[in-house]
């Protein structure tokens, strides 16, 4: 069937963090203003309808009328195996799959179970803020292998620095984000192999957050790091349907761990986790019947990103942006205005009443940037960008006069 992603679905009064969580969002410091006119584009979930097979499966679950403790049937594991074999030629054994109610939860479990107090954990800032929280919140030390950014906004890995940090005596883990959030990089096979080799040589465990791996541009290829590693004994991979199919509220992450000793240690720290019957039904439905929807979604996201880039070039040419290779976030560089981060924030969040994410949340390397999540109906994106553009026209006009 053909999906209409331009249709605006009213999410207010549906318990949505994104649309109904204004008091929480203000309390944690995202924005000072959040009201019924706010356009929230800060959190990584979609304002787009999910696949019809998923709806059918959830309706069938509701119609059963009983929602007791549930287990994972063989079909659950087979659906995961089929999806990754078909899309990435990755053969996953049933026993390698460990369920987690969320990726952030899994990161905390991995840090607690597989590192020691005071150990160093490598991350690559600017990066998703919960990485830092999982490290520091559990008494470990951040080893920041900051990504290098060229004049065109393209990010690469500083391998000399990475290897030096991996060789430090108490470095025991590297949390990889690929596709990278917020820069949108999909690391190449050569980059991934080099990362894996360095970690293996220095007994550094890799926790690979690959939950955006299905959200890539049409002309790009995503490779799970296990596919290029000499062996996978030192790799844990986080996969999820949450981002791909817009079901974050159903809490479904699957951790792939080939090393049985590491898997046992991780699982013991995790403890028993039973799924919701809705979670089981959802995963089976989307992995078996959701590919057509995903292809349409990918096309829509590509078109939206092209729209954002064109709009900025025509209306806010001072803002630099690249089309990301993966994810559905865009990393906007506002530094050309010569404004402080607070001044940029005030124009967007207070005056335009659009809620994004301040770049410094992702580390000091993000200062002057804004992250925007674009998986919303394009008319909504258009309105948000027009509001933002109106608040910077005074500067753009002066630049044009002085040109």
Report how many domains make up the chain.
Answer: 2
* 84 shares a domain with 197: yes
Provide the residue range defining the domain that includes 235: 66-289
What percent of the chain is predicted at pLDDT more than 70? 100
In a domain, 327, yes or no: yes
Long-range contacts of 129-138 (CB under 8 A, 24+ apart): 129/361, 129/362, 130/104, 131/107, 131/175, 131/177, 131/209, 132/363, 134/104, 134/107, 134/108, 134/110, 134/175, 135/111, 135/175, 137/108, 138/108, 138/111, 138/112
| Same-domain check for residues 189 and 333 | no
Residue 266 lies in a domain: yes
User: Is the residue at 10 inside a domain?
Assistant: no
* pLDDT confidence of residue 400: 78
70 and 43 part of one domain: no
Which segments of the chain have a pLDDT < 50?
A: none
Are 113 and 181 contacting, i.e. CB atoms less than 8 angstroms apart? no
Buried b or exposed e, range 55-81, using 16+ CB within 10 angstroms: eebbeebeeeeeeeebebeeebbebbb
Instruction: Answer yes or no: is 131 within a domain.
Output: yes
Structure tokens at 119: 């150990």
State whether 231 and 193 are in the same domain. yes
- Per-residue model confidence (pLDDT) at position 57: 98
Q: Are residues 223 and 313 in the same domain?
A: no
- Cα-to-chain-centroid distance, residue 382: 23
Is 60 a member of any domain?
A: no
Q: Looking at residue 21, which CATH number applies to its domain? A: 3.90.1150.10
Would residue 175 count as lying in a domain?
yes
**Do 33 and 73 belong to one domain?**
no
Q: Of 270, 289, 308, which residue constitutes the final position of a domain?
A: 289
Same-domain status, 36 and 79: no
User: What mean pLDDT is reported for the chain?
Assistant: 97
> Do both 324 and 239 map to the same domain?
no
Domain shared by 257 and 305, yes or no = no
Q: What is the pLDDT of residue 364?
A: 97
For the stretch 244-277, pLDDT in tens is 999 999 999 999 999 999 999 999 999 999 999 9
Regarding whether 159 and 81 lie in a shared domain, the answer is yes
Domain boundary among 289, 309, 330: 289
Asked if residue 208 belongs to a domain, the reply is: yes
CATH number, domain containing residue 136: 3.40.640.10
Domain stops at, among 257, 289, 321: 289
Domain identity same for 217 and 262: yes
Let me know whether 45 and 146 are in one domain.
no
pLDDT digit string (tens) for 29-53? 889 999 999 999 999 999 999 999 9
Sequence-distant (6+) residues with CB within 8 A of 84 are 90, 92, 224, 239
């Amino acid at each position: 069937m053909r999906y209409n992603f331009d249709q605006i679905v009213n999410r207010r009064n549906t318990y949505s963090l994104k649309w109904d969580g204004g008091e929480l969002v203000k309390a944690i410091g995202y924005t000072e203003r959040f009201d019924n006119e706010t356009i929230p584009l800060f959190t990584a979930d979609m304002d787009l309808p999910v696949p019809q097979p998923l709806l059918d499966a959830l309706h069938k679950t509701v119609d059963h009328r009983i929602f007791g403790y549930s287990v994972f049937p063989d079909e659950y594991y087979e659906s995961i195996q089929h999806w990754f074999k078909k899309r990435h030629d990755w053969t996953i054994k049933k026993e390698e799959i460990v369920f987690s109610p969320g990726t952030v939860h899994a990161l905390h479990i991995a840090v607690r179970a597989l590192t020691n107090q005071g150990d160093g954990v490598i991350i690559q800032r600017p990066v998703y803020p919960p990485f830092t929280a999982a490290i520091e919140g559990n008494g470990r030390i951040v080893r920041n292998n900051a990504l290098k950014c060229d004049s065109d906004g393209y990010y690469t890995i500083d391998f000399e620095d990475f290897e030096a940090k991996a060789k430090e005596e108490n470095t025991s883990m590297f949390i990889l984000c690929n596709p990278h959030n917020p820069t949108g990089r999909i690391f190449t096979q050569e980059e991934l192999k080099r990362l894996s080799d360095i970690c293996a040589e220095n007994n550094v465990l890799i926790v690979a957050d690959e939950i955006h791996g299905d959200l890539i541009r049409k002309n790009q290829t995503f490779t799970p790091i296990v596919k290029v590693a000499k062996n996978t004994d030192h790799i844990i991979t986080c996969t999820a349907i949450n981002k791909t199919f817009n079901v974050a509220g159903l809490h479904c992450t699957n951790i792939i761990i080939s090393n049985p000793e590491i898997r046992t240690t991780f699982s013991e720290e995790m403890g028993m986790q039973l799924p919701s019957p809705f979670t089981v039904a959802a995963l089976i439905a989307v992995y078996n019947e959701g590919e057509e929807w995903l292809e349409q979604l990918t096309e829509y996201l590509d078109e939206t990103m092209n729209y954002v880039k064109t709009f900025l070039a025509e209306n806010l040419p001072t803002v630099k942006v690249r089309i990301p290779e993966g994810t559905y976030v865009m990393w906007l560089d506002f530094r050309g205005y010569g404004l402080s981060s607070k001044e940029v924030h005030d124009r967007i969040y207070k005056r335009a009443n659009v809620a994004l994410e301040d770049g410094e949340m992702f580390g000091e390397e993000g200062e002057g940037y804004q992250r925007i999540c674009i998986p919303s109906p394009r008319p909504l994106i258009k309105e948000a960008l027009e509001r933002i553009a109106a608040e910077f026209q005074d500067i753009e006009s002066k630049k044009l006069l002085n040109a």
